[in-house]
Structure 1
Amino acid sequence: MTMRLVSWKRWLGGAVAAGLLGGCGGVRYYGNPELPRPPSNTPLEYFSVNWWAPLAPPQTLEYGPRETATPAYDAVSRTTVALTRDGFARGVGPDGQVKWKYKTGSRFNAGARVVDGVAYVPGGDGVLYALDAASGEEKWKYVAGEALATVPVVANGLVLVASESDTLFAVKIADGQWAWQYRRDPPTGFTVRGASRPLVREGVAYVGFSDGFVVALSVDDGGVTWERSLSGAGSEFLDVDSSPVMDAAGQLYVASYKSGIFALESESGDLVWNTAVAGMTSLLVSGQVLFAAGDGRVDAYLAETGRLLWSHPLGERAAFAPVFAQGMLLVPTSSSLLFLEPKTGRSRVSWNPGSGITAPPFAAGRQVFVLSNNGYLYSLNMNGIDG
């Protein structure tokens, strides 16, 4: 496998016309580093590229490649675990070289989770794999029989992972044996692709389903603590596929694709507030601010009341799950990776490494790992925002 290492710290792929991204006139634009050219009007150094690895480059006549699995990182072995559309799980070392690879039966819908040196890999082939993050050695596997669609969550000695068919599986971390599962019947109409990753707090797993319900389950046995319908009547696009988030005060936030964002009492599911902005698919909470991303926009809300603080329009572009890194809000979109100021929503940088980015990046301190839709894995060094 060929590999190229980036030896320069700054590069500029070209200028972008004002208004390419809604409300982003004058935004710095970084082009594809795989096609380097000498920098002109050197941009601010918000980040630099350490290395990139071509894991699953587009094949001849392949149309619209899309990578949906966020990378994972093992800090002890300094191994990045990347899952790609060709069905391979790979471990990539700190030099950008592939250390190991493991073949599964199908493309991946979501990324791995690394805990204590073990990578828990949700297979699109319906198998949950436990692999040694440093070597790729298989420790165990659990056959769920349904395409798995969320990053696994490890809690209370269990691995929790949801399928595309609205089933949440709980598997014992020690040996991969089944512990319990919870399933809801999908609606009869159209649904949004994806599934809700459970949030676990104090022995309770909060998770959404495509029928418009959010449910609180006991992690010990899968028993229902409470359930609440968020999307009302109907049969299409009722999905609560966003992963629930919780603030420091214990308030729960969930998004219905149809009915908007909800703040709920975590102990009872009682409504605190609702803002009826449809099309939101992911949430992120930080302090007193709730960030939401989805169809054509990225928003920030005051978490206590739901008041809109700012909205960043994207035109026809879709925004996927945002992450924080060194004071910036990184938002993957169908056209590029946006670097937004969390306080204002102003876009500082737009970077397209090739065919946009669907998988959320993974931040490990100053280092950020990005998997482009072209199947290239990047290691970025973040410099952050002054002040």
Structure 2
Amino acid sequence: MTISRWWKSWVGGLGAVGLLGACQTVPVYGNPVTSAPVQPPRHYFSVDWWTPLVEPTLLEYAPREQARPAYDEQNERVIALTRDGYVRSLGAGGQEAWSYRVGTLFYAGATVDGGTVYVPGTDGGLHALDARTGQLKWRYSAEEALATAPVIAGELVLVASQSDTLFAVKRATGELAWLYRRDAPAGFTIHRTSAPTVRGQTAWVGFSDGSLVSLDLADGGVRWEKLLAQAGTRQFMDVDTSPVLDASGRVYAASYTGGLYALDAETGDVVWTSVAQGITSLMLHGDVVIATGDDRLDAYLADNGKLIWSRALEERAGLETVLVKGMLLVPAQRSLLFVDPRTGRSRIAWNPGKGISAPPRVVGSKAYVLSNNGYLYALRLDGRSG
């Protein structure tokens, strides 16, 4: 069932704020009774359509959808991976074009490239599907839970596992080209994984032992490695942020307990560091590094690491923050937060039901949002206000 943007809105925005926003300092829009969202002010966004993908199960507690939607530009479809183990291709209005059952949970979303959908499964399977029909082209078995969206690097598909292994698979055949593995630390680690970042013939990726590693794409050989965790630290050293590169040749990454680092991408030399802990994702906005933590947002000058602003979040953040139309979209435990990147001020919060864990997929002026209760929403974004 797909609901168009012109449904009769549930009247009760103030009721939603009272029930869902008792601890909020910003307006909250949503429907705590059903999955139908309240239409927020149109100068922020409007809902084009929404559709349920997952049937709720009896006594299911705190469902989570962790896979970011992908977009198939060639066929103009959204690719959604959901907790019921299905891959779905959805066209205009949310109509299903095809579905493919993997039968496992997903920790990360798919990647679409060259008419193929690459799907990482927690059963260790990397599936290559025909983007138009959903037919299986090949499947590589990593025998480790795959935990990042595949990254296309020339003729290779790169995907990292939850067991600190980066796999490079030949995209034409599904055969293994090479792999790079590090031993997991003895202490506790964070349940997240760094996705590789690629430029030219180099990949940068973080590991749970606190290391950031630069690899040669030709054979997986190490160009350099740098320990970002503090000396003597044995717990939560993880570098789970996906590295971020800028035009000046710097790479930014963070250890959960070791802080935020700016390094020379070619040599691994440290340019600057910040002692901020608990960072789980990074993004670059002009000359500013935006760092998302479990319960806060921070902004740093990319040139020297000076803290510009810091804002506590009144709910636990999801995976990654994205920027669109002059607003930061922050998936969070109870809602999708709209944050001004200039000040860190939250403008509104939108609750589609059960909160949001997966980052939205932005395509032009649209954002596709998968809520934790398994509903897919197409939002039309109207830009920053006031």
TM-score range, shorter chain: over 0.9
What residue identity is the alignment partner of 1:65?
P
Give 1:155 shift: 0.8
What residue identity is the alignment partner of 1:150?
T
Using a 3 Å threshold, how does the CA distance of structure 1 residues 6 and 190 change in structure 2: closer, same or farther? same
1:145 paired residue number: 143
What residue identity is the alignment partner of 2:127?
Y
Q: Which moved more, 1:142-151 or 1:42-51?
A: 42-51
2:169 paired residue number: 171
Q: How many residues align?
A: 382
Q: CA RMSD in A?
A: 2.1
2:294 paired residue number: 295
Give 1:361 shift: 0.6
Using a 3 Å threshold, how does the CA distance of structure 1 residues 357 and 286 change in structure 2: closer, same or farther? same
1:162 paired residue number: 160
Between the aligned partners of 2:219 and 2:142, the Cα distance in structure 1 is 17
Using a 3 Å threshold, how does the CA distance of structure 1 residues 267 and 21 change in structure 2: closer, same or farther? farther
Using a 3 Å threshold, how does the CA distance of structure 1 residues 250 and 21 change in structure 2: closer, same or farther? farther
Tell me the alpha carbon deviations over residues 152-181 of structure 1, each in whole angstroms, 9 at most, x when there is no partner. 100121000000000000001111111000
Q: Which moved more, 1:227-236 or 1:263-272?
A: 227-236
8 Å contact kept, 1:31–1:352 = yes
Between the aligned partners of 2:112 and 2:62, the Cα distance in structure 1 is 29
Tell me the alpha carbon deviations over residues 283-325 of structure 1, each in whole angstroms, 9 at most, x when there is no partner. 0002101001012101111111111111121135234310111
What residue identity is the alignment partner of 2:177?
A
1:113 paired residue number: 111
8 Å contact kept, 1:12–1:29 = no
What residue identity is the alignment partner of 1:159?
V
Give 1:18 shift: 12
Query: Pick from 131, 134, 140: which aligns with 2:132?
Result: 134
Q: Which moved more, 1:228-237 or 1:299-308?
A: 228-237
List runs of 5+ in structure 2 lacking aligned partners: none
Give 1:117 shift: 2.0
Give 1:105 shift: 3.2
Give 1:107 shift: 0.5
TM-score (norm 2): 0.94
8 Å contact kept, 2:44–2:385 = no
8 Å contact kept, 1:161–1:169 = yes
Between the aligned partners of 2:314 and 2:51, the Cα distance in structure 1 is 31
Tell me the alpha carbon deviations over residues 103-150 of structure 1, each in whole angstroms, 9 at most, x when there is no partner. 113110100011122111011110001112222111111111111000
Tell me the alpha carbon deviations over residues 243-281 of structure 1, each in whole angstroms, 9 at most, x when there is no partner. 000112121100110111110010111111111111110
What residue identity is the alignment partner of 1:292?
A
Between the aligned partners of 1:71 and 1:332, the Cα distance in structure 2 is 13
Give 1:10 shift: 7.4
List runs of 5+ in structure 1 lacking aligned partners: none
